[in-house]
Structure 1
Amino acid sequence: MAQTTSGLVSTRNGIKTCDLSQVFATSGADGMELYALPTWHPVRWIFIKRALLLIDLFQRIPRPESLMEMGFGCGILVPELVSKTDRYVGIDIHSHTGEIEEALSQQIGLVDLRYGDANNLEFDDNSLDCIFSMSVMEHIAEIEGAVENVARVLKPGGHFIVGFPIENFVSNAFLDMIKLMIGFDRKVHHPTNHHQILAALGLHLEPFHERPFPFSGSVAFSLYYTGIWRKPEN
């Protein structure tokens, strides 16, 4: 995987990412160290591929004036997401918001990061053009409430760009391999599966574009779901 560095911002396959040497994993589910695996490693390849697919979805929607990242983690995608909008804000439930914000400010300038819970989004109704979430929904037990909140704060016609793992025997084997590498236990960290997430999304939003990976025509046999969901105009 091609990687270049300019100042403290790295570019991986055309995506701006934070300099991982300047930040840290914010929880046992962060997986930041997996980005540092050798370029040939399949785990690293899949971790990068999911980000590439999600970022590519921005080409399918108008440039959002406002963008909220739900679950910024260590901040790896913040530099890229900041470039996609006029007003970026990131939320996460971990206790390291200030430290990540300070580290990123040295790389890309001031950035708005906040403590925030998906089930209690502190944004006005109909206030955001776009919400972005990579590998967060599967960690949320009360998934219907989270999606209801997403729909509440999106403007009519606003977009939710979302990615999460698909549960099947292949993806479970992949996640079990990650458990051996970093102690990540899908049974502990993933209380919600893709069936429940998709059902919740369908209650409050409408599908706009879906791209499971690696089989774009099949969710059941893929490893990872990426898609855009849209808030109805009325």
Structure 2
Amino acid sequence: MKSGSSIKFKLPPKGMLSPNGADDPLKYYYVPLVSRLFISRIHITLRLLNDLSFDKSLEIGYGSGVLLPTLSKVSNQVYGVDIGSDPEFVARQLKALGCKPTLSTGVADQLLFEDNYFDLVVAVSVLEHIKDIEPFLTEIHRVIKPGGFLLVGMPAVNSFMEKLFAAIGFSGISNHHVTSPETMHQAANKLFMLKNMAWMPGFLPLNFYLYKSFLFQK
């Protein structure tokens, strides 16, 4: 297991990664002003890990792989599963960044891993797309080792967020974001213990958040 070190997201240089499909948010990481929101949500999520380090980590919904190089800094082995991305294509691009994850195609409620396999599972801006959240969380719980962690980041699901997404060119977000952080949290409490939580912007009361992050422990 790697020694503990603070984890901080580093955005790959523009052009090093390619988007996977029309819904891939990769381009927003490089749009002025909008990029600050997208990068900040990852910063507040990763900050919950503090100085933790891991042997095996899994990212669910890795997309274009933008987060995987950062996870590899605190994990001996990094895995990723995504329903739509091309694992070989993404792996080739990440290799140029010095990251060599084990990637596969699949869904989070049918993970092809042994029980108690991972020290950490990460799902950033993924679980809001899942309407029936409990089977997904149950399967994630199965592959996490006792004492291991689940790191989740999710946007608020409400009319204000729908207008905000429309303002940056992503209309009809309510058709994609179907589960709120509160619903996920309630379901996760049946399986995990909440260790820490953060929200963005942090200077506002929790009820006015745009993005919320959770660290759970099995």
Q: Give me the TM-score of the superposition, normalised by structure 1.
A: 0.83
Matched, 1:26 2:20: yes
| Cα distance in 2 between the residues matched to 1:91 and 1:218 | 34
Query: Per-residue deviation at 1:170?
Result: 3.3
Partner of residue 210, structure 1: 197
- The answer on whether the counterparts of 1:176 and 1:185 sit within 8 Å (CA) in structure 2 is yes
Secondary structure (helix, strand or coil) at the match of 2:48 reads: helix
Matches for 1:24-173 after TM superposition, within 5 Å:
24-38=18-32, 41=33, 43-59=34-50, 62-173=52-163
Seen in structure 2, the aligned counterparts of structure 1 residues 20 and 71 have a Cα distance that, compared at 3 Å, is farther
Matches for 1:12-23 after TM superposition, within 5 Å:
15-23=9-17
User: How many aligned positions are there?
Assistant: 212
Partner of residue 197, structure 1: 184
Q: What is the root-mean-square deviation of aligned Cα atoms in Å?
A: 2.0
Secondary structure (helix, strand or coil) at the match of 2:75 reads: coil
- The answer on whether the counterparts of 2:77 and 2:101 sit within 8 Å (CA) in structure 1 is no
Query: Per-residue deviation at 1:109?
Result: 4.7
Secondary structure (helix, strand or coil) at the match of 2:29 reads: helix
| Cα distance in 2 between the residues matched to 1:26 and 1:199 | 31
Q: Can you give the 5+ residue segments of structure 1 that lack an aligned partner in the other structure?
A: 1-13
| Cα distance in 2 between the residues matched to 1:129 and 1:218 | 32
| Cα distance in 2 between the residues matched to 1:87 and 1:79 | 11
Secondary structure (helix, strand or coil) at the match of 1:86 reads: strand
Seen in structure 2, the aligned counterparts of structure 1 residues 197 and 216 have a Cα distance that, compared at 3 Å, is farther
| Cα distance in 2 between the residues matched to 1:203 and 1:35 | 34
1:147-198 deviation digits (Å, cap 9, x = unpaired): 11111111111111110011234333212223xx2x4531222122223212
Matched, 1:176 2:166: yes
| Cα distance in 2 between the residues matched to 1:156 and 1:141 | 27
- The answer on whether the counterparts of 1:125 and 1:155 sit within 8 Å (CA) in structure 2 is yes
Query: Per-residue deviation at 1:206?
Result: 1.4
Partner of residue 5, structure 1: none
Q: Give me the TM-score of the superposition, normalised by structure 2.
A: 0.89
Query: Per-residue deviation at 1:25?
Result: 1.6
Q: Give the letter aligned to residue 198 of structure 1.
A: H
Q: Give the letter aligned to residue 230 of structure 1.
A: Q
Q: Can you give the 5+ residue segments of structure 2 that lack an aligned partner in the other structure?
A: 1-7
- The answer on whether the counterparts of 2:83 and 2:105 sit within 8 Å (CA) in structure 1 is yes
Secondary structure (helix, strand or coil) at the match of 1:228 reads: strand
